[in-house]
Homo-oligomer: A and B are copies of this chain.
Amino acid sequence: MGAEAKQTEEWADVTPDAARRLVTAAVAAFAERGYHATTTRDIAGRAGMSPAALYIHYRTKEELLYRISSVGHRLALDILRRARDSEGTPAERLARAVRAFVRWHAEHHTTARVVQYELGALGEEHYAEVVGLRRETDDTVRSVIEDGVASGDFDVPDVRGTALAVLSLCIDVARWFNSEGKRTPDEVGELYADLVLRMVGSAGAGEAGARERR
């Protein structure tokens, strides 16, 4: 390869597209073999790049994991916040939050698994940041449940525990969801919205979903 062609190739890696390819390759590698069994060389190879080219974007494997984890947590948080701040009764907003959150975990189950299962491999500062995002996620769900309790629409003896259980139920979709399975992400979201309204003792269980679909 001539010096000029080589330089062009090197520049080609300094693009947002290359960073995206690396993140996609890292998600696939971490999901398949686990974080600790994956090397930066494996990731670069999957992305069709050299280890040196990877290094332009991410100095360490941990930086890649942090990128995946922080983007994943921010997206999930955004989804919940949009539902919390949307129009409608607490039951409608909670159903909307569950539906969107479940759909995301079903559609992005490989990313979500890496995000959830490799948390312990993050460096100390990055871990603290992600724990902060998780706390905000809990708070968002809890505040919708509190709204429903305040308005008398929900009957929830243990708001904190119930919010935790609701999130746990939705996150675990990433573990068992199978793209070739019988249920689509939307169908799981619909079922779960109804189950969650039942968990919070909403009189509108089975109805908020139906209203939403009209």
| Contact B34–A195 (Cβ < 8 Å) | no
- Count of A interface residues, CB-CB < 8 Å: 32
- Give the complex CA separation of A148 and B172 in angstroms: 25
**Tally of this chain's copies:** 2
| A113 (CB) vs chain B CBs: closest residue | B117
- Give the complex CA separation of A183 and B206 in angstroms: 31
| Contact B165–A168 (Cβ < 8 Å) | no
Q: Which residues of B contact A117 (CB under 8 A)?
A: 113, 117, 175
- Asked if A199 meets B195 with Cβ closer than 8 Å, knowing A169-B168, A175-B172, the reply is yes
Kindly provide the distance from the CB of A206 to the nearest chain B CB, expressed in whole angstroms.
7
Q: Which residues of B contact A205 (CB under 8 A)?
A: 201
| A164 (CB) vs chain B CBs: closest residue | B176
- Give the complex CA separation of A157 and B192 in angstroms: 12
Asked whether A161 is an interface residue with its Cβ less than 8 Å from the other chain, the reply is yes
Kindly provide the distance from the CB of A209 to the nearest chain B CB, expressed in whole angstroms.
11
- Give the complex CA separation of A188 and B160 in angstroms: 12
Q: Within A156-174, which residues are at the interface with B (CB < 8 Å)?
A: 157-158, 161-162, 164-165, 168-169, 171-173
Q: Within A186-214, which residues are at the interface with B (CB < 8 Å)?
A: 188, 191-192, 194-195, 198-199, 201, 205-206
| Contact A175–B34 (Cβ < 8 Å) | no
| Contact B165–A191 (Cβ < 8 Å) | yes
Q: Which residues of B contact A24 (CB under 8 A)?
A: none
Asked whether A36 is an interface residue with its Cβ less than 8 Å from the other chain, the reply is yes
- Asked if A183 meets B198 with Cβ closer than 8 Å, knowing A33-B34, A34-B37, the reply is no
| A116 (CB) vs chain B CBs: closest residue | B175
Known pairs A161-B183, A195-B199 / 5 extra A-B pairs, C-beta < 8 Å: A117-B175, A161-B191, A165-B195, A168-B172, A198-B199
Ranked nearest first, the 3 interchain pairs of A and B with the lowest CB-CB distance are: A34-B34, A36-B37, A37-B37
